[in-house]
Chain A
């Protein structure tokens, strides 16, 4: 199988076939990333298409840092596009109290990944953004605060809120499906 570096070098020469191969290889990953931010599938497809145009037009600026770094970079680009989309199309609020945590915390591994992905997309926009940036983009609360123009404490409380809401959704799912 073609390594990331080989693929990257071919894409950087302007080879359209190599670009197509890059798209085929990472389209599923890009879609799943987008679906964690944006609940509507059609919107996600539009956003993923825009993201690939952006990726392929700015790939000359990307510096390869080892196998896996290209995938990470693509994920980050899609996430950035998704954040822009969210800010443009949804009212993003970072207020709201943290509800009480259910007594029992279900095993998140017992929830199918596609369902869990959908659950994340159903969270309120503010805490959905913070959760995605913290968990999947590995941003610190300081960075999240700077990026979203909020306070560090707000980022922290939004993450706690996301965790509680997600736990409740998981509990409901387990109850409904008798696991």
Chain B
């Protein structure tokens, strides 16, 4: 199938060689698991077990709350030793409510719900199952999947795109998944299609992953309504709006969703989680994590229980070869910096990276010379240097006027800048300011409405 071009984008060196060719390894059971109760976008889950209680593998330990939320399950059998704040995989280093679990080594499953049959399951049954299983978007955004799978109710959908682009350097967890668990992923895709009520699905894979392409294609079989598609290896191909553009040729309106075009985008790892939820009745309690970067002794992909500390993965890989310059959760283009490795793996963790100084060349920040490289690569069609200038002069509104809100923080501009200006940092600061202003505005509007209502009331009562 021919795909369409996306605007801008950068050729980013993949650096995937160290982990792409070795099979997924299973992490041994860690001594402790620390399961955060907010691993998703939305409202945190509420614990329903107490300290001291024994839980079994797959048992619900924290229930979802509200429309956009996701429950959390016990990754193995054991005892709850503590429910309290624990360091979260977040750049702020702030703690979140976390449930600590001491495995009893028996890895004993709780009673699991019945399996669903693809032929007989209704869309609602599938969405409910996915919701109960605590499945969230595993590409990193961690948006509750059930909410997405129910969008057929509000939008007229026609296709599902599975994101197997994996455009971030270093990461190979999706690549390995597609090579080793293609059949299961395809079954998960079919459940998703049924839930969404669409008859067509595409699995988008960057054209530097031939093995994944082949394995997914043979899993789909001849004449399938799931089409495996090569997309150019160009960062940020994995951005959902850009992926939709590459495959359908259509551009998602600003302030809109891909669902407006009838398309839902999900990560391949999410499809696998959906398979496990529907066909095995298992909740999302583990995922594949890439441990990589040149400061790692033996980079690898690990099938890891949620709540395992990143430090355990590092230990399993033989530790660090040297003091890393930067620890990261996620890819190097959009990932989050980590203070240390004592943070748990969560549902959205695609990778843990330890980058060496050599990989982050020490570079002096120079003034902008207006070369326009950032304009050429910006996949959102913005003028990053112009926005940066405005934010630098404390003119956040000016930056807003020229598209700050349309920035997807992909970091392409930052990547190519010859002056090494931390553009993304400027934009994050600017977006934070805008959010603050928006909040203030809402508050003021509310006050205004209330004040006016009060005056009218007083007038009526004849006070004035």
Q: Do A and B bind each other?
A: no
